[in-house]
Amino acid sequence: MLRIRSRAGLLCLPLLLMFSACSQRKPSVGDAERFLAEAESRLLDLATQEARISWVQSTYITHDTELLAAAARERTIAATMDFAKQATRFDGVDLPPEPARKMELLKRALTMPAPSDKAESEELSLISTRMEGVYGRGKYCPGGDSSNCLDVGAITRTMAESRDPNRLLDVWKGWRTISPPMRQDYQRYVELANKGARELGMPDTGALWRSKYDMPPDDFAREVERLWEQVKPLYVSLHAYVRSRLSQKYGAAVVPPDGPIPAHLLGNIWAQSWENVSPLVSPPGADPAFDLTKILKEKNIDALGMVRYGERFFTSLGFEPLPPTFWDRSLFLKPRDREVVCHASAWDVDSAGDLRIKMCIDITGEDFTTIHHELGHNFYQRAYNRQPILFRDSANDGFHEAVGDTIALSVTPEYLVRVGLLRTAPDASKDIGLLLNRALEKVAFLPFGLLVDQWRWKVFSGEIAPANYNQAWWELRRKYQGVEAPAPRSEADFDPGAKYHVPSGVPYTRYFLAHILQFQFHRALAKAAGCADPLHRCSIFESKEAGQKLISMLEMGQSRPWPEALEALTGSRQMDATAILDYFAPLKKWLDEQNQGKATGW
């Protein structure tokens, strides 16, 4: 520890001397480049330390590991804040393009900006780590029976499999008992993060988050709404159809045929995706003709085998295999002897090849897809790790989320045949079933992916006051999703905190963008692969042409503004939801036919 402190002191000394001199003269390009070199070196060292400690905290949740993770996070945030503030001293320097971009990225690097006051910075880190720990340990014990408690995985399975509305309501309400204890912490988190954002020249933390997209924050907010308006008609058609089928199943008294859908009946703990209600809403003859979960189990594919399938897809495109350390250090199964954060995540621990995933894998088709998604992060991380440190990230955070999902769109019946998981692909008569299943996953998610940050942006700006946290949450759920709480909710509840990304402070608009971008990527890569089939039947598996196009974009990292990275892959500089409309065009026509004479909207 003494050596580390000494090293930190040596790094700070030149900066202090430099800025003392800068008080008497204008900083030069050379001063800026030396500052950036020292900042990158220091931040890489701190980020690696934090990643290692955070890995332990996520896979061994204890009071002590939470304290260690909080301290590591505080050190990284404090250093990043310090460098971000120092970077503003170079605002008037005419820098070459590369250092100029680094300066801009450094100034908006944080998602959880901490105040410069050390006590407040430490408090913010502790609150953040504590909320994540509360979520990770969260359980619901029906009837108060501590011997029969359900964690998030068990509740997720119940929500997916049960068709008993009373049972679904019970576990839906039960999971939301974990979050009220976070409410006061979250209010303080907002206060402290906003104070840090203002020190960086931003009005609030939401504006800081929106500033990360190579455009002014308000312009980005309008861009998100533009994309939503492009896809909204498709979502409204899907919503109307699903509501009608659920109303037939549960009765109009439970699911009104012209109002919002009760959130507990959509097969997902947050009603964010609806693929688990596919058996209830798919009409006769529209089934997808195969059950991937059943296939995986019948073939005795274990968790490690599922990950191998994901790796094989990437290597078929021309990527190098994952390193041996990936297989040694990743967490694939939930341990029996300790608490872990089961939420799937991908890790690049040292920005130099120590890649891992952390995931409590179940043998399901859903987890098969999730594995492809997480590996997309890992292969992206490795592709850009030759870039300068401040460029070792995706073009924007939506790109990172989109890459793996783009690969998952190629998990078509034809792909499953080629890898031996399916004997023959279903014929075109099954396309509506295939598309409906995918729409229940992808299209249903779009408004949820949008509204989580709509809520947080308004909370950070003060438009939503603490006294209205829960009411505003459900107003947005109704506005965008057409979904409502199935039981009375009050400000004694804190339902946003029952979603992992809220207590963990992870921005969520990236997932909305990813759901737009993945179809735009898929359309471009399918064209590169020479696929002449309908877009929803195209797989880029084993296409080196598509692979090289993808690799070239990934290797850019964050070195260029995201429109340039998008153009390198798709030929367009604008995010465009028409690809998702193209993909689901046959389904939209079918849905509109089914909805004739029925109410749409809510």
The Cα 310–Cα 308 span in angstroms is 5
Residue tagged active-site, from 199, 366, 484, 501: 501
Helix axes 544-556 and 397-409, enclosed angle (nearest 10)? 170
Strand extents, DSSP E, 465-538: 483-484
The DSSP symbol for 331 reads B
Catalytic residue status for 374? yes
Q: Which residues pair with 356 in a beta bridge?
A: 347
C-alpha 206/C-alpha 128 separation (Å) is 17
What span, in angstroms and rounded, lies between the C-alpha atoms of 495 and 270? Answer: 10
For 484, the 3-state DSSP assignment is strand
Tokens of 53: 């400690």
Rounded (10°) CA dihedral 77, 114, 458, 178: 80
Residue 346 bridge partners (DSSP): 357
Helix axes 152-161, 165-175, angle to 10 degrees: 160
- What is the DSSP secondary-structure string of 101-127? HHHHHHHT--SS---SSHHHHHHHHHH
**Residue among 481, 453, 50, 459 nearest 213 (CA):** 453
The residue annotated as part of the active site, out of 40, 374, 401, 441, is 374
Rg (CA), the chain: 24
Angle formed by the axes of helices 183-199 and 63-87, nearest 10°: 20
Contact between 288 and 426 (Cβ < 8 Å)? yes
Per the CB < 8 A criterion, the answer to whether 414 and 423 are in contact is: no
Is 564 a catalytic site residue?
no
What is the per-residue burial (b if ≥16 Cβ within 10 Å, else e) of 423-449?
A: eebeeeebbbbbbbbbbbbbbbbbbbb
Burial 238-257, CB ≥16 within 10 A → b, else e: bbbbbbbbbbeeeeeeebbe
Catalytically active residues, by annotation: 374, 501
